[in-house]
Amino acid sequence: MIQFIVRRVLQLIPVLIGVSILVFSLMHITPGNPAHIIAGENAPVETVKQIEERLGLNDPITVQYFRFVKKAVKLDFGTSWRTSLPVEKELWLKFWVTLELSIYSTIFSLFLGLIAGIISAVRQYSWSDVGIMLVALFGLSMPNFWLGLMLMQWFAINLGWFPPTGWGSPEQVIMPVITLGTGGAAIIARMTRSSMLDVISQDYIRTARAKGVKEGSVILRHALKNALIPVVTVVGLQFGGLLAGSVLTESVFAINGMGKLIIDRIMARDFPVVQASILVIAVIFVLVNLIVDISYRFLNKRVDLDS
């Protein structure tokens, strides 16, 4: 186990290097001069050149990259070009908002998806199975922003049950979590059904039933536990996707989170904030998948992580 964790942590290094190179390159080849945006449309050329010199934009791109990496290794991401605040301060509060949204959405999708998938597998080819899979297909095909707008129209404007925007109170959490978690719940439901059907047909499940074990215990203790490995993989990938892909949901509900911050700072060419944000997301994504891999060993003792 220790060897596996050390090996995966070492694998994190080339991943972060690749992500940093990709993000750094994309930001620099994107049209638009950050110095010109900071100075303003009608700023004189001398002012723009002074800003370029102060920000180091006149240096070769390789020099700029290694300067960024040198600071990032020390967890120093510099200051925002737009607000002149430390990047860490810019990210901190918005990161926790997005993290909360992703965690709540993952819990919602896991709870709903597992229940729907188990019912669908146990009642294979029944009306409930067909209905659940049709709803899951609809949830999988439905754009998040459209669902968010529909929820806002029905429950915030027409019924007045929830506030239409914002984040913090329990009432403000419900609609964004449903919006972001519905697609994940559909994927988990379909994956749970498929995995459960494979496990239910195994000999040890028939043996457990022949011994008189209660059906609930057969499904939850024997079948579900062994069917969870592919589901856990999906949940891990989904969490990383939610963390990086909450931009539309945050925009619809005016949530001041990390996704909205990245979009705003891309438009403003605020390189330090964008680069630090992507690196943070990449680190969390890799760490979540490390946790997922370790969980395999607890779900199935036959899984050898060190092999």
Q: Output the domain CATH number for residue 161.
A: 1.10.3720.10
Asked if residue 143 belongs to a domain, the reply is: yes
What are the respective helix, strand and coil percentages of the chain, to the nearest 5?
80, 0, 20
166 is a domain residue: yes
115 closest CA partner among 239, 27, 219, 267: 219
SS (H, E, C) 161-191: CCCCCCCCCHHHHHHHHHHHHHHHHHHHHHH
Angle at 171 between CA 168 and CA 175, to 5 degrees: 95
Within a domain: 275: no
286, 12 in Cβ contact below 8 A?
Answer: yes
Residue 186 in contact with residue 144, Cβ under 8 Å? no
pLDDT of residue 176: 92
The confidence score (pLDDT) of residue 91 equals 84
What is the Cα 105 distance to its own chain's centre?
10
- The predicted pLDDT at position 300 comes to 60
Q: Tell me if 112 is assigned to some domain.
A: yes
Put simply, whether the predicted model's pTM sits higher than 0.85 gets the answer: no
Q: Decide: 113 and 192 in contact? Cβ < 8 Å.
A: yes
Angle at 45 between CA 39 and CA 48, to 5 degrees: 35
- Domain containing 195 equals 94-268
8 A C-beta contact, residue 19 and residue 275: no
- The pair of structure tokens assigned to 261 is 């911050």
- pLDDT the model gives residue 26: 77
User: What is the predicted pLDDT for the residue at 112?
Assistant: 92
Q: Which amino acid is at 171?
A: E
**Residue 175 · residue 253 · CB < 8 Å:** yes
Residue 287 lies in a domain: no
CB atoms near residue 164 (< 10 Å): 16
Residue 188: inside a domain: yes
- The radius of gyration of the chain from alpha carbons, rounded to an integer in Å, stands at 24
pLDDT for 304: 56
Identify the CA nearest to 148 among candidates 164, 133, 159: 164
What pLDDT does 69 receive? 84
Count of structural domains, the chain? 1
Specify if 44 maps to a domain.
no
Structure letter (DSSP) for residue 59: S
291 found inside a domain: no
Q: Please state, in angstroms and rounded to a whole number, the distance separating the CA atoms of residues 225 and 167.
A: 35
Among the listed residues 239, 251, 132, 258, the one whose alpha carbon sits nearest the alpha carbon of residue 192: 132
* pLDDT (tens place) for every residue of the chain, 307 residues total: 677 677 777 877 888 888 888 888 877 777 777 777 777 777 777 887 887 788 787 778 888 888 888 888 888 888 887 888 888 888 887 888 888 888 899 899 999 999 999 998 888 888 988 999 999 888 888 888 888 889 888 888 888 888 888 887 888 899 999 988 888 899 999 988 988 888 887 777 778 878 777 877 778 777 787 788 788 888 887 887 777 667 778 888 888 888 888 888 888 778 888 888 888 888 888 788 777 777 766 666 555 555 5
Q: Angle at the Cα of 102 (from 279 to 82), degrees rounded to 5?
A: 45
